[in-house]
Structure 1
Amino acid sequence: EYWADTIAVSTLERLLNIKFILLSSEAYAGGDMKNVMLCGQLNDSYLENKGIFTPEYYVMVDYNGMHYKTIGYKGKLIFKFSEIPFDVKRIIVDKCMEKNAGPFSLIPDFRKLKLQQAVSVKSSEQSDLFNESRLRGLYEDDIIFMFYSNSNDTPNPGKGNGEKIPADRITEFVDLKKHKQWRRKLDNSWISPFKLHEHTWASVEHYYQAAKFKQNSQDFYLSFSLDSKTDLSKDVEMAKAAGSKKGKFKGVLLRPVQVDIDPDFYKSRNKIELAEAIEAKFTQDEELQKILKATKRAKLTHYVPRAPQETHDDLMLLRDRLNKK
């Protein structure tokens, strides 16, 4: 048998259009965590001169000093970029691309990932390519489901506006189609009461808007809760208006002039509050949980008028956690 050396590995990568990710079980067993990832060498002058390498697949292998053995993950031995484990990508960027050199620096997906880690948090939030769910490989790019508060229930999954699905995958989502208004039920405005922080809320949107006032305006915060029995607590559009910059609904001031949005809300709390509400909504309603699971590994996006679709990370991250239970 012939065991490949580093030059043979580089040649195989170019000829097969794949990239090997080299890991060391010996380093791991010895507690040498900094050297578990082996960055490899750029031994192929053709690729070096070309300056770009776009592998179709990635293969993780264990290198024990002499030989290579494949490593499986989630039942797979070959991976698309989006399927590479999240932590593995991060280690590659942090260790193997420190000086923008080496084989991974020729790969556009990894170059973009490195660039993303250097830009501001705001920019990374807006970049669909680098959202957290993509980095963790929680969805498949070729299946997209889009939803919003008034989504059309008629089209089959993958056939609605802004959606896509390969023809041979349509039958995989028959169960999803059985749930009426499944798209609308994914939206934050869907009325499905849940309990969170000792109060009951009609929708995720109600809690999210209320949370803007939780620290400094408790009375107004509680007026969004169904416990208060206010009109505001039952009407999504009214709740959005009350939490808006002006606090007006159809020309009527809903928010007292002395009540302002908590200063820390958009600095640190907004994402946490939203994620908590989404989790409460889907874990406390059996049908909603079934709907979310039935989307399988589809990319979930939210329709925003006159703007690009928003990738809904919170839903896909929750879906992944629910499927692991």
Structure 2
Amino acid sequence: MTETKPPLDIYLCAPRGFCAGVDRAIQIVELALATYGAPVYVRHEIVHNKFVVESLKAKGAVFVEELDEVPATKQPVIFSAHGVPKSVPENARELNFFYLDATCPLVSKVHKEAMLHDKRGHEIILIGHEGHPEVIGTMGQLEEGVVKLIETVEDVAAFEPRDPNNLAWITQTTLSVDDTADIIAALKDRFPAITGPNKNDICYATTNRQEAVKIVAPKADVMIVVGAPNSSNSKRLREVGERAGCRQSLLLQRASEIDWDSLGAISSVAITAGASAPEVLVEEVIEAFRTRYDVTLDVVVTAKEDIIFNIPRELREAAIAAGVLEEGPKAVAVN
């Protein structure tokens, strides 16, 4: 006799998973491998996802923490999507490395903002999380101590500027939209003359994924975010799910991490994925639920994403010359 599975509604967020910057970074590594052959060296995780990193390792990518781990080579050295301090490409040039920069264009935009504020003589505040690679890269665009890091509203109250009338703020691109709004409000309240970016620094994908979670999380008994524990945008999604009223909001790397006993009696689950989590891991989680429940899947579409970023010109031209890439219309870059 076949056992009857309990019913379960799964609300699947759309958009979810890979953003344009992550897709571009992975494409750069894969295209470099196809064009130049293995090995290709990558400084830091290209994106924060173990599955992606291991997949690229299997294809011939070698991941290092610092450039001094790379042997003398003519093979490409790739910088991760999170961005790097200015000292890193300078060091690469000194070592005569051929390097490709996979920094997300939206992170590069923040770098340019920081340099422009510095040129205009502003004291710069960066809203972000200490130690995150993106924050290290952004602060490293200028001399040490020029960019001041603010993490909380309490930090705003404690901050003592050189000149309260000559301040500018920028942000990490993967923050909580709501938390950042509170910090910005506190900055504007304390320093009314402070200058901000023309357009919000938090990237479109971070915003879209958080908004989707706010809509689905209150409907579900459990919110599952597929993503890595060191992924900033994935951690923020879990927090957003919790704040939105879901009694359990979990961050899992893949289906094998689901603690079925801890879920308790459930009738609905909401699922999303951080911007560096591949869709195959989302499908894996859904299939794990299908083995235990009679699943009804409801895809909840809250935004459409059609942004594509160009790969570096030198890589594109080399790939075309090698016959790896067909010559065609360029992808649309967003500035």
Band of TM-score, shorter chain: under 0.3
Query: What TM-score, normalized to structure 1?
Result: 0.24
Q: Structure 1 or 2: larger strand share? A: 2
Larger radius of gyration: 1
Greater RCO, 1 or 2 (C-alpha within 8 Å, sep 6+)? 2
Q: Structure 1 or 2: larger helix share? A: 1
Query: What TM-score, normalized to structure 2?
Result: 0.23
